[in-house]
Amino acid sequence: MSVIERRNRPESIDVLIVDDEEDIRELLELSLLRMGLACDTAGSVAEARERLAQRRYRLCLTDMRLPDGDGLELVEFIQSQLPGLPVAVITAYGSIETAIRALKLGAFDFVTKPVELKALRELVSHALKLEPRIAPLVAGRSLIGHSPAFEQLRAQIEKLARNQAPVFIRGESGTGKEVIARLIHGLGARAAGPFVPVNCGAISPELMESEFFGHRKGSFTGATADKEGLFQAARGGTLFLDEVGELPLGMQVKLLRAIQERAVRPVGAHAEEPVDVRILSASHQDLSRLVAEGRFRQDLYFRINVITLRVPPLRERVEDIPELAEHILAKLADREGGAPRSLSAAALAALQAHAFPGNVRELENLLERACALCEGDVIDVADIDLQPACLAMPLADPAAAAEGTAGEAADDSDDERRRILRALDETRWNRSAAARKLGMTLRQLRYRLQKWGLE
C-alpha cells in the first residue's frame, strides 16, 4: 500500500505504480498527485495483478526489477488481459536494450532511472490522452481497400498508434508510407501535436544539421537570427523521417544521439535542449542491406527499427484496385467539378493485370491521364495507355552496375530509358520526384542520366 493515506477512493483510479522500493513509489506518487491524478501502488508482480483485477486504471507505470519477476511479465500480462491499458516501464540508465524489448512487447513508452520528473510528466500526459479504444473504421478512413493484406495493416496501425515506440515503415515507392505515418500520429496520444514530415534525401548535406536541430544567430554566415529545427518544430508531436536511408553517415551519428538522449544541440549553442518527439521513419530501400554495405549505421538502424511495418505493394492486393480506382476517380471529379467517370470491365481487368512498379501513385497518374484523354463517361483500355512494366524491385546501385554485362544491358535497355524519361516528363524533370516514382534513389537516377548524356 502507499504511504500516502487515501480516503473514499473511487472505483476507478488513474495510475497504478509498481515498484519494490517504497521511497521510489512515494516520489512517483507525489509527482503524479501534483498533476491531479489519483494513484495506487504495488510492490510486486503478484500485488500488481491483484490491483489490476480489482480496479480500472488509465495507466500502469512499472519498474523492470521486481522481487517476484520483472516488468516485462507485467507488460505481457496487460497486453493479453487488458489490451486497452497503456503500460510504461522504468529502466536502469543505459538499459536501452531492455526498454526496446518492452516496447516490442507492447509497452507504451519508458523512462530511465534516475527518473526525471519532467520526462515522467510528459509520458503520463501523452498516455492519458489515449482513448480506451480506437474504432477500426476511424483507422481505415484514409486507407482504401479491404484485401487481407490491408486488413492486417489496419490492425497493426491501430496497435502502433497506442504506443510511443519508433516505427520503421518499409514499402516500395508510391505505396503511401506518409499516409500511414499520418494515421499512426493522428490516432495516437500525440494527435493534438504537430506532424512534421521531412524528406531526408531532399536536404543539402551542408544544411542538414541546421535543418534538423536549428541554429543560433551568428553561428555561421547568413545566420541572422535564431532558427528552430525540425525536432523543435515537432515538439509534442511526431517527426516523420521519409527516405531515412538517404542520410549521410555524419548526420546519422548526430541523429542517433538526438534519439537516444531525447535532446538536441542547435548549431552554435553550448548546451543541449530536451525535445519530446516520437520518431517515425520510412524508406523504399532495404536498410539491413545498407547496414551490411556500410552505408547505414547499425546502431541507428536498431533504434529507429524497434518495430517494422511493411506496406504491401499494389500487385499484392489487386482486389483493392476497383475500390481504389473508384475513390481516385471521385476525387478527380470533385477537383474538376463534374460527375465521376467509371471504368469499363476491360479497362479494370487491364489495371488488375498490370504490375504497377509505381504502386498507388502510378495508378493515380494513369487515371488522371485517362480522364484527360477520355471523351465519354466510361474509361476504356485505350484511354489508360498502359505501358509494359517489369515488377518493381530494387534497381542496381551505380557501384554494382559496372560489375557485369548483364547489369549494363538492363540499364541500357530502351524500355528502362523510356520509363525514366516518361517519369521525368510527368514530374516536369523534378529528379527527386521522378526517382521516388521509379522506386530508385536520386543517385541511381543521376547515374543513368549521366551515362545517357542527359544530366
171-197 mean pLDDT: 92
| 139 or 259, higher pLDDT | 259
With 70 as the cut, is the pLDDT of residue 401 above it?
no
Q: Read off the DSSP letter of residue 355.
A: -
With 50 as the cut, is the pLDDT of residue 177 above it?
yes
Report the alpha-carbon distance of residue 136 to residue 153 in Å, rounded.
11
CB atoms within 10 A of CB 281: 26
With 90 as the cut, is the pLDDT of residue 19 above it?
yes
| 258 or 12, higher pLDDT | 258
With 60 as the cut, is the pLDDT of residue 4 above it?
no
Res 93: pLDDT: 61
Q: Are strands 12-18 and 39-42 parallel, antiparallel or unpaired?
A: parallel
| 397 or 248, higher pLDDT | 248
Phi first, then psi: give them for residue 198, nearest 5 degrees: -140, 130
- How does residue 421 score in pLDDT terms, banded at 50, 70 and 90? confident
Whether the bond into 114 is cis, omega within 30 of 0 = yes
Res 386: pLDDT: 77
Res 12: pLDDT: 57
Residues 161, 134: contact at Cβ < 8 Å? yes
Sequence-distant (≥ 6) Cβ neighbours of residue 206 within 8 angstroms: none
- pLDDT tens readout for residues 119-129: 899 899 988 88
Residues in a beta bridge with 62 = 18, 89
Res 304: pLDDT: 93
Q: Read off the DSSP letter of residue 193.
A: S
- pLDDT tens readout for residues 191-236: 999 999 999 988 888 889 999 999 998 888 888 899 999 999 999 9
Q: Which domains does the chain have, with CATH numbers?
A: 12-128 (3.40.50.2300), 136-310 (3.40.50.300), 314-384 (1.10.8.60), 398-451 (1.10.10)
- pLDDT tens readout for residues 321-370: 999 999 999 999 988 877 889 999 999 999 999 989 899 999 999 999 89
